[in-house]
Amino acid sequence: MKPTLIAVSALLAALGAAPLPAAEQPTGKAPMQGFPPSVESQVTRKNYRDYPNGRWSFRNAGAPFNVLMIPREGEILPLNTPLNSELGNHRVEDLEGNPTPLDALFERNDADGLIVLQGGKVLHERYFHAFNPHAQHIWFSMTKSLVSSAFGLLVAEGKVDLGRSPAHYIPELKGSGFERVSIQQLLDHSTAIDFKENYTDPNADFLRHYAPALNMAWLPGAADVQPGQTEIYGIYDFLTHFVKEDPALKPGEAFDYNSSNADVLGWLVARLSGQSLHEFLQQRVWAKLGAEHDAYIAVDRAYMPVATGGMNTTLRDAARFGQMILDRGRYNGQSVIPATWVDATLEIDPRLERNMRANAKYQRDPWQAYHNMWWVLDAKAGEYCAVGIFGQVIYLNREAGTTMAWYSSQPTASSANNPQFQAKLKAARELARSLTP
């Protein structure tokens, strides 16, 4: 039985749609033109995802969202100026097999910025569509990989057992769909819950109930709801009162990507550490990366940090995080994340591979598995990614000693079977192979 929520007069427009061929991509007027902006170019919480509004809103997420700061700390660890000025002209194949300069391919597919590191040194850095090195950009679901990495600190400290239910540590989850699952199944999106992630159906539970509690989407009147006026105010309410088990599935049987799993993980971090998620991330991770800029994270309607997709940083600072993970959790001579936890992401068993192959949504994509909230391409080569909707990626390749990060403002949200997303990922993999010693 789904709880009754506050009545609304309209439903949320879709977060994404089926991918379009390059020649059919939607067009629109440049956002935020004029002082004040014209009505036609005004970005709002309702239209911030509409193309091309994301070119402004994704790098100014503090405007449509409420956010909390994650301040940088200590000395800045400088990154060098790019060593290979010609790398942007390096030819990679597009999806049709046509040799295309690297920068041209990324720009054509709505990238906002690209940075390439090898051995911790910047080889190439390029910004598109007026993005710049000092602007933060939203990570969306790349945040899941950050939160999972930070969660590894609590695992190493013996504060959590991955075989236990999250309800063991968060009693409020008893009776929810999360009670019968293990925390490891949570990390692998194999929880067999009845709540489905659907960006395109305005009548779906995802858009009617989850998104307003998340505070990252618009419904008439939803932002004005006060505590006590609705059973589901913030995300933690949604997890405890709305999500039920899917009786047709058993936990661990299927990979079904679902953002609410990461919300539970973020709640576990807070409950086990005794700190708000953003404070834990700042003190245990961000303060140790020698970041150039402060980060910030979007919050839900109850002002709790959005673990599933709220992080915002500059491109260079995203690359610093990626480099730390590539180096098995070490950065600037100190351990940030335990190496055993970082390595565990690449321990892929046949069940994880089978679950990925069985998911029809990803059968045309190159993923080997999904594990510990990272997308794995080739575990043997140490090739894996953090991925966010609308084309956000941190790409790691141990064999090539390479870290890449890119931000995008693609017209469509999902990465699955998305030609713009796949063109950039294919190019990055090809570049990494060419850089392999």
Task: Determine what percent of the chain is predicted with pLDDT higher than 70.
Answer: 93
User: Domain with 246 in it: what CATH number?
Assistant: 1.20.58.710
Is the pLDDT assigned to residue 5 strictly greater than 90? no
Answer yes or no: do 207 and 116 share one domain. no
Answer yes or no: do 250 and 308 share one domain. no
- Report the pLDDT averaged over residues 333-341: 97
Alpha carbon distance 116, 194 (integer Å): 40
Start-to-end Cα distance in the chain: 57
Answer yes or no: do 302 and 422 share one domain. yes
Answer yes or no: do 326 and 373 share one domain. yes
Answer yes or no: do 350 and 413 share one domain. yes
Q: Report how far Cα 117 is from the mean position of its chain's Cα atoms.
A: 20
Answer yes or no: do 160 and 250 share one domain. yes
- Identify the residue with better confidence: 193 or 18: 193
Judge whether 29 lies within some domain: no
Would you state the pLDDT for residue 437? 86
Would you state the pLDDT for residue 200? 64
* Mean confidence (pLDDT) of the chain: 92
Answer yes or no: do 215 and 107 share one domain. no
Tokens found for residue 124: 């190439």
Judge whether 236 lies within some domain: yes
pTM above 0.85, yes or no: yes
Alpha carbon distance 329, 51 (integer Å): 36
Judge whether 301 lies within some domain: yes
Least confident of 8-22, 152-166, 395-409: 8-22
Would you state the pLDDT for residue 22? 38
**Which amino acid, 165?**
S
Phi-psi region of 140 (alpha: psi -120 to 50; beta: other; left: phi over 0): left
Alpha carbon distance 236, 39 (integer Å): 36
Least confident of 76-80, 114-118, 163-167, 194-198: 194-198
Answer yes or no: do 381 and 414 share one domain. yes
Judge whether 412 lies within some domain: yes
3-state secondary structure of 38: coil
- Identify the residue with better confidence: 408 or 223: 408
- Report the pLDDT averaged over residues 291-310: 98
Answer yes or no: do 122 and 99 share one domain. yes
**Among all chains, which residue has been given the structure tokens 């098995």?**
328
User: Domain with 397 in it: what CATH number?
Assistant: 3.40.710.10
CB 300 within 8 A of CB 306: yes
Is the pLDDT assigned to residue 10 strictly greater than 50? no
Answer yes or no: do 160 and 252 share one domain. yes
Judge whether 422 lies within some domain: yes
Judge whether 303 lies within some domain: yes
103 closest CA partner among 83, 128, 82: 128
> Which of 263, 280, 306 represents a domain boundary (last residue)?
263
**Among all chains, which residue has been given the structure tokens 């661990």?**
252
> Which of 223, 242, 263 represents a domain boundary (last residue)?
263
Answer yes or no: do 320 and 426 share one domain. yes
Would you state the pLDDT for residue 209? 82
Q: What is the domain count for the chain?
A: 2
Least confident of 30-39, 222-231, 349-358, 391-400: 222-231
Judge whether 33 lies within some domain: no
Which structural domain, as residue segments, surrounds residue 367?
69-142+293-435
Radius of gyration of the chain (CA): 21
Answer yes or no: do 137 and 180 share one domain. no
